[in-house]
Copies of this chain bind each other. A is one copy, B any other.
Amino acid sequence: MLYGKSFYSPMSNNRPVSFLNGKPEQCLPFIDRGFCYGHGVFETARLWHGECPLWDYHFARLCRGADLLGIEIDRTVFSAYWQAFLAAVPVDGVVKVVITAGEGDRGYRQAGAGNANYVMQWFPLTDNQEVMALRQRLGVSIDLCRYRLPNNPILAGIKHLNRLDQVLASAELDARRFPEGLVLDTGGRIIEGISRNVFLRIGEHWLTPDLARCGVAGVMRRFLLERVFTRLALPVQVVDIPVDRLRDAEEMFMCNSVSGIWPVTAIDRQGSFEIGEQTRKIQRQLAGELACFAA
C-alpha cells in the first residue's frame, strides 16, 4: 500500500487515522451536537490514488444536508482541513467525513452552538480488491429486511447522523449469508439497501426508487443516473416501486461509492435473478469512467 507524507501509522490501536478540524485527534467532546442529537452529516467515500472519484457529488450532498440542518460549512476552512488530512493518510482506502453542528448548550435548540466540527477519518477497505472484484463478478444474495423505513420528506435523501434505521435493519441480517438487505418503507415500497441504493430492470425499463419520503440518495446512484445510463442510452425511471413488482424484475443490482455495483442474484425467500447482459454493460461503463470500480 502506498502512503502519503504521513507521520501517523494507519489504524494505530485498531483505530482509523483521524483528524478533527485539521489536526490529528481521536475524540470529540460529549457536548458536540453530533453526539448529543445526531446533529450532523457525513460522507463515506472511496479513496483511490490519493483522490475521491466522486468527491464533487459527495461534497454537494454534504452541503445540502448541512444547509437543511442549519450547519454552516466554511468552504475555505473545510478545504484546508481536507488537504491536511489527505496529505497525512494512505492514498487508497475509504475516507469518512463528518460535519457536526459543533459544541452546544444542553437542549435541542441550536442557539449557543459554536462552529461546525469537521471530523475526517481514513479506513482500509473492508474487503480487499480481490473480494470486491468477486462480488462485482459473481453477485450477492441478499435478505429482505422486516424493519421498515418511516416516511419523513424533510430528512429524506440526505446523509445525516440519525442512522438507527440502518442499525436496526442491519441487526436482522445473518451476516455470514447476506452482505446486504433490501429495505422497504412503511407503505411497502422498495427504498434501498442498508448501505446501498438499488436498481432493477422490468422489461425495457430500469427503475430506481423515488427517495422523496425516505432513504439516502447515494452518490453512486446519482452518477449512474446522470452519466452511466445516459451514455449507454438505457432508459431509467425514478419511481415508487411496490415490493410486489420484484416478481417482474429481470435484473437487479445494488451500488454505492465504495464498492461499486453488486449484481443481486437472489433475495432470500423472494426469488433469484440472472446477472443480465445490461448489468454487465453498466458495470463496464462505470469501470470505464472510474477505474477503481473495474472488476
Contacts and interface: CB of A to CB of B under 8 A. Distances in A.
Given A38-B161, A162-B162, A171 B70 contact: yes
Contact of A155 (B96, B121, B154, B164): B164
Contact of A27 (B29, B110, B171, B194): B29
B170 A164 contact: no
Given A28-B30, A31-B15, A108 B167 contact: yes
A16 interface: yes
A27 B20 CA distance: 12
A150 B152 contact: yes
A134 interface: no
Interface in A60-88: 69-70
Contacts of A29: 15, 26-28
A233 interface: no
A166 B16 contact: no
A167 B110 contact: yes
A94 interface: yes
Contacts of A161: 35-38, 164
B30 A98 contact: yes
Contact of A150 (B94, B96, B121, B150): B150
A170 B109 contact: yes
Nearest to A151: B150
A139 interface: no
A16 B107 CA distance: 13
A186 interface: yes
A36 B110 CA distance: 20
Given A28-B30, A94-B106, A160 B164 contact: yes
B37 A35 contact: no
B37 A166 contact: yes
A98 B32 CA distance: 13
Nearest to A147: B154
B30 A30 contact: no
Contacts of A171: 70, 109-110
A15 to B, nearest CB: 6
Contact of A30 (B69, B94, B119, B186): B119
13 contacts: A15-B31, A28-B29, A33-B167, A35-B98, A36-B163, A37-B38, A37-B163, A38-B161, A108-B167, A108-B195, A109-B173, A109-B175, A150-B152
Given A38-B38, A108-B195, 7 more contacts: A26-B29, A28-B28, A34-B35, A35-B161, A39-B167, A105-B126, A108-B166
Interface of A: 15-16, 18, 20, 26-39, 44, 69-70, 94, 96, 98, 101, 105-111, 119, 121, 123, 126, 147, 150-152, 154-155, 160-164, 166-171, 173, 175, 186, 194-195
